[in-house]
């Protein structure tokens, strides 16, 4: 079970956002910048091997693939349009260039985007990175129909 230590937000030192995101984009621990963030391709380590900062709190979920698709799509679509406008090659040339490039860019960009998002979560003390669990969402109260 995870233990949380209740401290007031004012007592905790401020974490700089951009350096943490930058370290995450380089796939390094956002706390120390020395330890690797990943143990495997996209598997965030439980804790940093260098400074022991716990990284298992991260909740990147669907954001990294979404941002990766947006980035890759902008690059590939721009490239397709420029190549088509300049040279008008046959379809097989487009396929032989853009399909492998799409896969390669996606595989290279995805872990970096996820690292940046984990760094952002760490800097903003989200999802348990601040030493306390997130506030649970209040249960919705059942509404009664209109009074007659």
Structural domain count, the chain: 1
Instruction: Please state the rounded mean pLDDT for residues 125-148.
Output: 72
Q: Which of 39 and 145 is assigned the larger pLDDT?
A: 39
**Quick check: is 32 in a domain?**
yes
pLDDT on residue 138: 72
Q: Which of 138 and 21 is assigned the larger pLDDT?
A: 21
C-alpha pair distances (Å), 68 with each of 62, 63, 76, 109, 139: 10, 8, 12, 6, 34
pLDDT on residue 1: 44
Among 135, 30, 32, 16, which residue's Cα sits nearest to residue 44? 30
**Quick check: is 130 in a domain?**
no
**Quick check: is 135 in a domain?**
no
What domain range includes position 47? 17-123
- Beta-bridged to residue 38, according to DSSP, are 44
């Amino acid at each position: 079970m995870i233990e949380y230590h209740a401290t007031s937000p004012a007592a905790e030192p401020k974490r700089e956002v951009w350096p943490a995101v930058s370290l995450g984009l380089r796939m390094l621990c956002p706390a120390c910048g020395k330890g690797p963030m990943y143990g495997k391709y996209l598997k965030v380590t439980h804790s940093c091997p260098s400074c022991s900062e716990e990284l298992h709190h991260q909740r990147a979920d669907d954001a990294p693939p979404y941002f990766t698709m947006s980035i890759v799509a902008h690059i590939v679509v721009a490239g397709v349009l420029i190549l088509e406008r300049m040279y008008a090659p046959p379809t097989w040339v487009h396929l032989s260039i853009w399909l492998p490039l799409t896969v390669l860019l996606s595989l290279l960009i995805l872990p970096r985007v996820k690292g940046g998002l984990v760094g952002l979560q760490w800097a903003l003390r989200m999802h348990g990175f601040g030493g306390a669990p997130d506030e649970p969402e209040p249960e919705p109260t059942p509404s009664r129909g209109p009074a007659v």
